Amino acid sequence: MSRDNLNRRRFLQSTAAAALSAPSIARAQGSAVKVGVLHPVSGALSYSGQQGRIGAQLAIEDINAAGGIKALGGAKIEAVLGDAQSTPDGGNAEVEKMNSAGVAAIVGGYASSICLAASQTAARYNLPYIVDVGVVDSIVTRGLKNTFRFGPGFGVIAKTALDNLVAINDAAGKPAKTVMIVHEDSAFGSGLSKLLNTQLPERGFQVLEVISHPTPTRDFNNVALKVRAQNPDIVIPANYYNEYVLFARTMQQQRVRPKGIYSVLGGAASSYKFVKEFPEAAQYIMDCNHWFDPKNQKALELKKRIDARNEFYTYEVYMNYSCILLLADAIERAGSADRARIIGALENSTFGGHLMPYGPTKFVNGQNQGAAPVNTQVIGNDIQVILPASFASAKAVFPMPRA
């Protein structure tokens, strides 16, 4: 909003107009329900943010094309787009704007640090907030009634990742014993590395070193050198897309060849964009991350549509798509765009029409208990699911064959 929108005359005009039109909103059946769609579409996280926005917008288009919110007389969903500019402050500012624009709920945030700040601000207005990706567990342990996370958090992801790492290593005859963690230094990377650093030794792995770096970082030479000197069996990168790609390419450039690159929520490790642009650097990278249900027809149809648009089907797309569907279902059951009633409907949600390989939807303190990650690996020019067995489309290739 530009500054001149805030002058007194405009303010009076708009509030007068709102007051006059309010009764007609109440009468009119099917007037639009505004939903805040918040992503970091500029700045360091802009690629992920833009992907998230695409997913949310497609879901809204689909819902509207299928007749809108039926309980509200076919009301259309109207997206109020926001740019968090890759910072928590940017996210907060957008939540304030969305609140004054009268949104019924907000979906998005992407980065943990943005989700933490934005959901807190939304809580002040009792505004329902659905976290699309943000994985830090404190997002749902602060006791905020308005905040819901459909996807899995750190705790679950790290546990699954470690279980699967042990399983993959055991299956290959336990070739890996040492690990190095490279993580970005905001809430996401630091939290994850702390968790891994305490749990890896319990599972029989020795953590040689933990290296942190800021986002953005434009040079990973020193980091790659340290990895080369320590020569760990497994490298675990935990960073966002740009840094992940740069780090993987720098390792390739510096001829660092561990037995495995195993990411937990690797920013690019299970991204079709990365695999297409840098197939050599991406080859055999394993990841424990968000992924769509490869047996879900809706998920595969959406993939075709995204491919047809020449976009990449990254997890931001289908997670945001699923979150918007979840919200629409809640509004439908609430039978109202009232914020408190939407929160009530989300609390009791058993929504099953999403695209994810999750168990039954059930929210406890805002966290979906059915949410779970899967393990993927880049094999050839594709990304395959290697674990859990019920979804797997390929067997893990470990240790990495030497080129």
Partner 1 sequence: MVSSVILVPALLNGLMTGAVYALVALGLTLIYGVLHIINFAHGALLTAALFAAFFANKLLGIDPYVAALFLAPLFFGIGYALQRFVIGPAAHGEDRNILLVTLGLAVMIENALLYAFRADTRTINLSYAFDVVEIGNSFLAVPRVVAFGVVVAIAALLWFAMRWTDTGKAIRAVAKEKLGAELSGINVAHIYAVTFGLGTACLAVTACLLIPTYYVNPHAGNAFVLIAFTIVVLGGMGSVAGAMLGGLFVGVVESFSGLYLGESLGQIGIFVMFILVLLFRPSGLFGERA
Residues forming contacts to partner 1 in the complex (CB under 8 A) are 42-44, 46, 85, 185, 209, 211-214, 216-219, 221-223, 225-226, 228-229, 249-250, 252-255, 277
Answer for the pair 75, 26: CB distance below 8 angstroms, yes or no: no
**Length of the chain as a residue count:** 403
Residues with Cβ within 8 Å of residue 267, at least 6 apart in sequence: 48, 239, 240, 241, 242, 243, 244, 245
Query: How far is residue 396's CA from residue 215's CA, in Å, rounded to a whole number?
Result: 31
Nearer to partner 1, 279 or 359 (CB): 279
Minimum distance of partner 1 from residue 189's CB (angstroms): 11
Q: Residue 381 class from Cβ within 10 Å (0-12 exposed, 13-18 middle, 19+ buried)? A: exposed
Half-sphere exposure of 395 (CA within 13 A, CB side): 5
First-to-last CA distance in the chain?
54
User: CB 330 → partner 1: shortest distance, Å?
Assistant: 34
Q: How far is the CB of 44 from partner 1 (least distance, A)?
A: 6
CA 347 → CA 82, 146, 147, 189, 328, distances in Å? 25, 9, 10, 29, 14
Comparison of 213 and 290: residue with beta carbon closer to partner 1: 213
Q: What count of other Cβ atoms lies within 10 Å of the Cβ of residue 224?
A: 23
Cα dihedral 235, 240, 244, 245 in deg (nearest 10):
160
328-339: buried (b, 16+ CB within 10 Å) or exposed (e) per residue?
bbbbbbbebbeb
